[in-house]
Chains A and B, each alone.
Chain A
Amino acid sequence: MAENRTEFESLGGNNLDGIGGNAKKITYTAEDGTKKSIQIDCGMKFSDKTLTGVDNYIAPLECDDLLITHCHADHIAGIIHHIQMNPDKPLNIYADKFTHQFMFAEMTKQGLPLDNMPKFHDCEDGKKFNVNGFEIEAIPVTHSAPGAVAFVVESPDGTRMMDMGDFKTTKATLGKGWEDDRIASAFKKGVDVCFCDSTSTTSAEVTPSYDMVTEGFRKILDDHPNTQMMVGTIARSAEQLFADVIAIAEEAKDTGKKPRTMILDGASLIQVNQALNKAGLSMTQECKKRTGIEVPILDAKSPAARSVPPGERVYVVTGTQGEEMAAMARTARGENRNIRPSTKVPNLCVNQQAVIPSGDNQAVVDEMMAALKNQGWEVMIPKRGAAFVRGETYYVSGHGRAGDMQKVADIAAANQPADRKCTFIGIHGDEKQTQATEEIFRNAGQKVEHITNAQKVVVSKGNVEVAKTVGTACRYAVIDKNDDFMNPDFQYIQQAYNPVAQKWVDVKEVEYKKLLVAKNDRQGGKGGKGGKGGKKGGRRHSLDMAAIAARKQATR
């Protein structure tokens, strides 16, 4: 009989070419050879369609039981496609309550039939639960998305692995967030292997808390009294939005005036606000608890929003990267009937997200901000990589930097049992980022290993080893044949990584029965109003994969 063992495998996210598509699998193999597995996350990785012909890539879904660390697309967006490809496969999802609410909103938004909905199980803080023989503990961490957790997974053989999820080590503004004691307690009980988010580890210092955003946004409010404001944000990163709510409350408290009114414009903001309310994290209520001030948060469609004096309006919109159909771009084109520049008071647009260096984002955002300026808006946008300055910084990341990793190393060193030292492994990053993470732990005297996608970490009787051979990584290319995100026609191609040639190769096209219902499917069919199409302006791409591969090669 073989020895029992527990294996961790990165199914995606440890990429050579960037961040995304996160997924990990933990498998327990008993002495008789029987196996039990669970998966953590099933995310998506963006692709430049003009080069690849592919809209995005999703990680595989190899288990019926799925733990979700938080609601960002690079951790959850593969799930709905796998349900469409395998509608009869049972699926249990374990996550924080807000994460569930958000995922349910995403799935119903895309029209997934209720009969095909996965079973959602809320992780209750402080309460361990059992999934397929593994004992699981969800520990709150701080990230830009509320409800982010780290998972400690204890296998039937007693092996304990911790996936930190996406995290930073400062306090959260909304929800529980990071607490040193909770992480210390996990290490105290012994953690054999800890997997750490490496996204921002190449940057020095600790990523600041959202309190810094509150201070920076408060300064903007102070500098712009009686001004109509429009703030660009990423809806699901609601920690930052809540930092703005607190700033509005503190301004009202200090000046004795009534608070400005936050007005949400756009479907995803309305849905995130509802998901927060349903998860017991109402921004209005939480703000009132902290400051004693009730900041009104309205829907741009409501008559109450239209009656707010322009100088008291803080519109919140999405589209920070210039997305064509989002409220900020529509405002810049003069097509947003909810938001127009005021002629009575000054107008200020704060794009609260730095430009993500991808594709033509910079040019598109520059053009959008210039158009707003021409309409009479003063415009502000943070610079990527700018130094953090109290009272000036109004955007911070949710990912920990080198200082955050050092803190984890210090907590581990102070708490881990002498006879059960943890091995640290960098995940969620490219080679440079994961190695930077491992360097920090190595320098702190901790044990370190390095893995790539499809490489296993094997723990048997407390010994941690990385398998010398790397398996075949798998992913699915998702192609929207319509090139229209409001009326997509998906094609799925399974791909495998050839480690010798160092490239992905097509395995097969996956046939499926369409379950999802696009926004315009029914409206168009009924001859209804339809609504404006979501064409992004890109041409329709050839699906000839050989030609696409040739284009890729030519651009290297």
Chain B
Amino acid sequence: MSLRWKDYVEIADELNELYPDKALTDMPDEELISLVRALPDFEDESEPDETVLGAIWNRWVYVGYPED
């Protein structure tokens, strides 16, 4: 199944599997966008907005960092 920007939960999971040790604080939007676009399942030509980028980032922190 191909991923689109709005599939932020699945995107965050895939990013976390590929980059489990990535520090996410201060990650620039450009870096996040390029990591998403490089995902093998990702197929979406549209430009992401701030909301969807924030959603991906938040969910990635949640799945990628120890629970507290």
> B-contacting residues of A (Cβ < 8 Å)?
104-105, 108-109, 111, 113-115, 117, 235, 264-271, 273-274, 278, 298-299, 301-303, 317-319, 323, 325-327, 330, 336, 486, 517, 519, 522-523, 526, 528-529, 531-532, 534
Q: List 5 interface pairs A-B (beta carbons < 8 Å), by A numbering.
A: A109-B58, A266-B66, A326-B68, A519-B62, A532-B67
Q: Which of B17, B25, B51 contacts A299 (CB 8 A)?
A: B25
B21 proximal to A (CB < 8 A): yes
B55 touches which of A108, A271, A523 (Cβ 8 Å) = A108
Minimal Cβ-Cβ distance residue in B for A305 = B23
Name the residue on A nearest B51 (C-beta): A114
Asked if A104 contacts B66 (CB within 8 A), the reply is no
Query: Which B residues form the contact surface with A (CB < 8 A)?
Result: 6, 8-10, 13, 17, 20-26, 51-52, 54-55, 57-59, 61-68
A505 vs B17: C-alpha distance when bound (angstroms) = 46
Residues of A within 8 A of B66 (CB): 265-267, 325-327, 330, 336
**B8 shortest CB reach to chain A, Å:** 7
Interchain CB contact under 8 A, B13 and A264: no
User: Known contacts A274-B57, A301-B22: does B13 contact A523 (CB below 8 Å)?
Assistant: yes
Whether the Cβ atoms of A326 and B10 lie closer than 8 Å is: no
Contact in complex: B58, A105 (CB < 8 Å): yes
For the complex of A and B, list the 7 residue pairs with the smallest distance between their C-beta atoms, beginning with the closest. Answer: A266-B68, A299-B25, A302-B23, A318-B68, A267-B65, A301-B23, A108-B58
Instruction: Give the distance in Å from the alpha carbon of A107 to the alpha carbon of B55 in the complex.
Output: 9
Nearest residue in B to A534 (C-beta to C-beta)?
A: B67
Q: Are B63 and A301 in contact (CB under 8 A)?
A: no
The answer for the CA separation of A301 and B25 in the assembled complex, in Å, is 9
| Inter-subunit contact A271/B61 (CB<8 Å) | yes
Q: Which chain A residues border B55 with CB–CB below 8 Å?
A: 104, 108, 114
Query: Chain B at the A interface: mostly helix, strand, loop or mixed?
Result: helix
Minimum distance in angstroms from A49 CB to a CB of chain B: 19
Given contacts A301-B24, A522-B13, 13 further A-B contacts (CB under 8 A): A104-B54, A104-B58, A105-B54, A109-B62, A113-B6, A114-B52, A115-B6, A267-B62, A268-B68, A301-B65, A327-B68, A522-B9, A528-B17
Q: Is the CB of A522 within 8 A of B10?
A: yes
Min CB–CB distance A126 → chain B (angstroms): 25
Asked whether A319 and B68 contact (CB < 8 A) given A302-B25, A522-B9, the answer is yes
- Whether the Cβ atoms of B67 and A519 lie closer than 8 Å is yes
- Known pairs A298-B25, A323-B68; A523 contacts B63 (CB<8 A): yes
List the B residue with the shortest CB-CB distance to A105: B58
Q: Is the CB of B58 within 8 A of A317?
A: no
Contact A301 B21, beta carbon cutoff 8 Å: yes
Known interface pairs A317-B68, A326-B68, A330-B66; A270-B61 also in contact (CB < 8 Å): yes
Q: CB distance B62 to A517 under 8 Å?
A: no
Give bound CA distance, A327 to B23, whole Å: 16
Q: Assess the B17–A531 pair: CB atoms within 8 A.
A: no
CA distance A270 to B20 in the complex (A): 16
Per the bound structure, the CA–CA distance linking A522 and B63 in Å amounts to 11
Which residues of A sit under 8 angstroms from B21, Cβ to Cβ? Answer: 301
What is the minimal beta-carbon distance from B33 to any residue of chain A, in angstroms?
17
- Across the interface, which residues of B come within 8 angstroms of A534, CB to CB? 67
Question: How far, in whole Å, are A299 and B62 apart by their CA atoms in the complex?
Answer: 14
Question: B68 contacts which chain A residues (CB < 8 A)?
Answer: 235, 266-269, 317-319, 323, 325-327
Write out the residue numbers on chain A whose beta carbons fall within 8 Å of the beta carbon of B9. Answer: 111, 517, 522
Contacting residues, chain A, for B59 (C-beta < 8 A): 108-109, 111
Residues of B within 8 A of A104 (CB): 51, 54-55, 58
User: Within the complex, what minimum Cβ distance (angstroms) separates A358 from chain B?
Assistant: 18
Are A271 and B58 in contact, with the CB atoms below 8 A? Answer: yes
Q: CB < 8 Å: which of B6, B10, B26, B62 contacts A114?
A: B6
